[in-house]
Each structure stands twice: as structure tokens, then as C-alpha cells.
């Protein structure tokens, strides 16, 4: 699968220059078609009974788990399907055993949802939150180490920062956490799909990733990885019936058995699936996610990363030519797909974004902890022409030669 054929998978690109996968991305034809097929099933019940149709839906949804596991080099039983990164982080906050006085480290530039579950635990359970500062937008592992005490139990961090695209040294942070016996919880939503993560090479205890950004599956489904070796230490959730071990003969046979009783000793599945909601799930979301994941795996994650990095370099070179300040680090080791730049003031940045949107060049304006600006997301479906249109419109804005928006090729 080459990148031009991938581009054909995204019909939205026929009418706009879409450079905003870091917000809510567009879906490929394959994911939309998979959801359409599911909706046909929901409308017509093609199986001999509603029970069998429900079981078939469960099997279609379950296909997302092994694909997510393959994407991060995990085992299928280490994957739970969740609604979003936020839900995955909330699950981690409830599963890791923490007590009053335990210390959790959160970085200053984080998206608020990374901090919210731990802020609630601070107020409810008396844990302590320590904020790791950034240095001109960069997060250094030494600064995490400096804030660790003998009460530090957990570090929660985004592998790529949402506002300006800094990618931290996750391997070094993982080594530090293992050395100190500290849980590591990673928000990977701004990295996976652009630059791969291998949880065998970089151990972590939790990894949460929603599907609606770089995974191009904006249907309300993502996944949560939980390292198998730590599961026995977790506080198990209040689970639904689908987290119960499948009875002999399957659920269809079980529900037809006259002797079943609701009050009994239940055996729950072992593995991450126990942390799923456990009832009727978001079938279209998981089916769309599975279709998108297949596309990424077929294209090759290393090839995608090279494509994304190269586009980012071309964008930064063009911004240099225009004399525009780039907020995102330039080294590939410190970035993924986000390139953020600034014209010097929030007002100018906001005006530029409006100018770009009027020309159907889709980007975002994002800030946190005093850093950010115009955020551009270079993804697998983008090409040199997209970068060229963005730079042309930005240069036009700078020169004050604003005319009527040109049609998007």
C-alpha cells in the first residue's frame, strides 16, 4: 500500500486540505464501509435469530483487540476496548492501589484530561500531585527524577504533548520508573498512528489511546493496554456480565438454560478485558477502529513514521523561509506528527487560523502552560501539496495580500 493509494481512502481530501488529525481526524473509506456493513446487520438481522446476530456482533467488535495488540507489540489479553483515552486513564486511576500521601507526577504542559482523574483522587483520597516543569516546552527525565520521593507511586504522562508536539524520551522515563518501582501510565493518543510504540522494548504499565485522532477512527472507541505482569496488583473493577468467563456452550446456550440463577459465585475473565464496560458495547466504534488499524498495519508503521517526519521537515523548512518561529523541536527523536508555530502573538495566530480555515486548510490553535500556537498535524494521508497550500496561504497572510479563497484541488 503506497501513500497515494492511502490518500484515495480519504474522500474529504478532495474538497479540503486536512492537517488536523491531532484534533478529530477523518475516517478512511474502509472504516466507513465496515460501519455501514454493521449498520446493515443491525437493520436486517441477517442471522437466524437475534441471539446469533448479537453473538456475530460481539465477534466483529472483538477483532479490534488483536489488531491493537499487534500495533504496540502486546498480547491480546493485555488489551481492553474503551471509549476514549480519557476513559482509559480513568480506569488506570481506579485500578492502581494508591493511599493518602502517595505521590503522583504530572507534567505541566499536559492536556487537562491527563490530570483530571488524579486531581479527583487528590481531593477524595488525599494523594499528592507534583507538577513536572517544562524547559522551553521540553520535558526532561531528570526533572521527573528530581521530583521523585520515597512516596512517589506513579507517573502519568503523554508520550507526545498535545499543544506543541514535543515527544519525550519514553524509554529513559520507563527505565527510571522501573528502577524506582513507580507505575508508568502513558497517554499515547498524539503518537500512535504517526510514530510507533513497542511496549516490549519500552515497558509501561498502562497505555491509553483513543481512536479518533491519529488512528483515523472517530467513532468513540480506542484501546487500553495493561501490562500482564502488573494485573495481579490492580484493584479489579465492578464489571458487567461480558467480563464473566464465557459459560460452556456459549452465552446463547446459557440464556436458554432453565436452572440459571443471578446470585452465584462468578468467575471473571483474566486479562485486560475485565476492565471493559461489560455490557452492550460501541460496536460501530470498535468495527471502524479495526478497519483503520488494518490500514496502518498494512502500510507499515515505520514507513508511516518516515513519511510523517519528512512532511514535518518540509513544513519547518518552509516556515523558516517565511521567518516564522517553530515551537516544536526539530529532532525526530523529539517529535511525531505535530508541528506548531507562532507568528508572535495569540491574536496574530488566531487571525491566521481563521484565514487558513476560510481557504479550507484545516489546522488548530492550541496552548497550554504558556506554549503553543498554530498546530499542524502531518499524517499518512497528507502529501507535499498539502504542505505547499498551507505555506502559500500563510505567506499570503503575512504579506497582507489576502484575496478570495482559491478552490481546493
User: What's the pLDDT score for residue 403?
Assistant: 54
The alpha carbon torsion through 349, 353, 359, 361 (nearest 10 deg) reads 110
pLDDT per residue as tens digits for the range 155-176 = 999 999 999 999 999 999 999 9
Maximum distance among all Cα pairs of the chain, rounded to whole angstroms: 79
Q: What is the mean pLDDT of residues 90-114?
A: 97
- Measured over the CA atoms of residue 219, residue 221, residue 239 and residue 63, the dihedral's sign is positive
CB 299 within 8 A of CB 307: no
DSSP one-letter code for 27 = P
106 φ/ψ angles, rounded to the nearest 5 degrees:
-130, 140
Its CATH architecture, for the domain 32-296, is 3-Layer(aba) Sandwich (3.40)
d(CA 282, CA 246): 20
Q: What share of the chain is helix, strand, coil (3-state, %, to 5)?
A: 45, 15, 40
Quickly state the pLDDT bin for 402 (edges 50, 70, 90).
low
pLDDT tops 80 at residue 279: no
d(CA 23, CA 178): 32
User: What's the pLDDT score for residue 405?
Assistant: 53
What length does the chain have?
Answer: 409
User: What's the pLDDT score for residue 237?
Assistant: 86
- Measured over the CA atoms of residue 42, residue 43, residue 46 and residue 47, the dihedral's sign is positive
CB 223 within 8 A of CB 67: no
pLDDT tops 70 at residue 21: yes
User: What's the pLDDT score for residue 88?
Assistant: 97
pLDDT tops 60 at residue 408: no
pLDDT per residue as tens digits for the range 351-371 = 999 999 999 999 999 999 999
User: Is the pLDDT higher at 267 or at 379?
Assistant: 379
Provide the mean pLDDT of the chain: 95
pLDDT per residue as tens digits for the range 189-223 = 999 999 999 999 999 999 999 999 999 998 999 99
d(CA 287, CA 71): 16
Lookup: cell for 199: 511496549
Close Cβ partners of 322 (under 8 Å, ≥ 6 residues apart): 391, 394, 395, 398
Q: What is the mean pLDDT of residues 129-144?
A: 97
pLDDT per residue as tens digits for the range 327-341 = 999 999 999 999 999
Q: What is the mean pLDDT of residues 246-275?
A: 89
User: What's the pLDDT score for residue 270?
Assistant: 87
Which of 140-144, 322-326, 397-401 is the least confident region? 397-401
Only one residue has cell 497505555, namely 207
Quickly state the pLDDT bin for 274 (edges 50, 70, 90).
very high
pLDDT per residue as tens digits for the range 46-100 = 999 999 999 999 999 999 999 999 999 999 999 999 999 999 999 999 999 999 9
User: What's the pLDDT score for residue 40?
Assistant: 97
Lookup: cell for 43: 437493520
- Would you kindly state where each structural domain of the chain is located, as residue ranges? 3-19+301-399, 32-296
User: What's the pLDDT score for residue 193?
Assistant: 98
Lookup: cell for 29: 473509506
CATH (one of 3.90.1150.10, 3.40.50.11390, 3.30.70.330, 3.40.50.150) for 3-19+301-399:
3.90.1150.10
CB 91 within 8 A of CB 316: no
Q: What is the mean pLDDT of residues 227-252?
A: 88
User: What's the pLDDT score for residue 257?
Assistant: 92
pLDDT tops 90 at residue 26: yes
Amino acid at each position: 500500500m503506497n501513500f497515494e493509494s492511502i490518500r484515495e481512502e480519504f474522500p474529504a481530501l478532495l474538497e479540503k486540505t486536512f492537517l488536523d488529525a491531532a484534533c478529530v481526524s477523518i475516517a478512511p473509506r474502509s472504516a466507513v464501509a465496515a460501519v455501514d456493513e454493521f449498520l446493515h446487520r443491525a437493520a436486517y438481522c441477517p442471522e437466524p435469530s437475534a441471539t446469533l446476530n448479537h453473538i456475530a456482533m460481539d465477534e466483529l467488535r472483538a477483532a479490534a483487540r488483536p489488531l491493537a495488540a499487534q500495533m504496540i507489540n502486546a498480547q491480546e489479553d493485555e488489551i481492553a476496548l474503551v471509549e476514549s483515552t480519557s476513559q482509559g486513564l480513568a480506569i488506570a486511576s481506579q485500578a492502581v492501589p494508591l493511599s493518602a500521601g502517595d505521590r503522583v507526577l504530572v507534567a505541566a504542559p499536559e492536556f487537562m484530561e491527563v490530570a483530571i482523574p488524579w486531581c479527583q483522587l487528590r481531593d477524595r483520597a488525599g494523594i499528592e500531585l507534583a507538577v513536572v516543569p517544562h524547559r522551553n516546552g521540553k520535558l526532561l527525565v531528570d526533572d521527573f527524577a528530581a521530583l521523585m520521593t520515597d512516596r512517589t507511586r506513579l507517573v502519568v504522562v503523554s508520550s507526545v504533548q498535545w499543544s506543541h508536539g514535543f515527544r519525550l524520551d519514553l524509554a529513559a522515563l520507563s527505565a527510571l520508573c522501573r528502577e524506582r518501582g513507580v507505575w508508568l501510565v502513558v497517554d499515547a493518543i498524539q503518537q500512535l498512528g504517526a510514530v510507533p510504540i513497542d511496549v516490549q522494548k519500552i515497558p509501561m504499565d498502562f497505555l491509553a489511546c483513543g481512536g479518533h485522532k491519529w488512528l483515523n477512527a472517530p467513532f468513540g472507541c480506542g484501546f487500553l493496554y495493561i501490562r500482564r505482569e502488573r494485573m495481579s496488583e490492580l484493584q479489579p473493577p465492578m464489571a458487567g456480565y461480558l467480563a464473566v468467563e464465557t459459560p460452556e456452550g456459549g452465552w446463547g446456550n446459557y440464556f436458554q438454560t432453565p436452572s440459571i440463577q443471578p446470585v452465584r459465585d462468578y468467575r471473571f475473565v483474566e486479562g485486560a478485558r475485565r476492565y471493559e464496560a461489560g455490557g452492550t458495547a460501541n460496536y460501530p466504534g470498535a468495527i471502524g477502529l479495526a478497519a483503520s488499524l488494518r490500514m496502518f498495519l498494512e502500510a507499515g508503521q515505520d514507513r508511516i513514521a518516515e513519511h510523517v517526519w519528512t512532511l514535518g521537515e518540509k513544513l519547518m523548512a518552509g516556515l523558516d523561509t517565511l521567518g516564522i518561529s517553530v515551537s516544536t523541536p526539530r529532532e525526530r527523536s523529539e517529535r511525531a506528527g505535530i508541528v506548531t508555530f507562532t507568528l508572535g502573538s495569540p491574536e496574530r495566530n488566531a487571525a491566521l487560523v481563521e484565514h487558513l480555515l476560510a481557504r479550507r486548510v484545516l489546522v488548530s490553535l492550541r496552548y497550554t502552560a504558556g506554549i503553543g500556537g498554530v498546530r499542524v498535524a502531518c499524517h499518512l494521508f497528507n502529501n507535499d501539496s498539502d504542505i505547499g497550500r498551507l505555506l502559500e496561504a500563510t505567506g499570503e497572510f503575512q504579506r497582507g495580500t489576502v484575496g478570495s479563497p482559491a478552490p481546493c484541488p
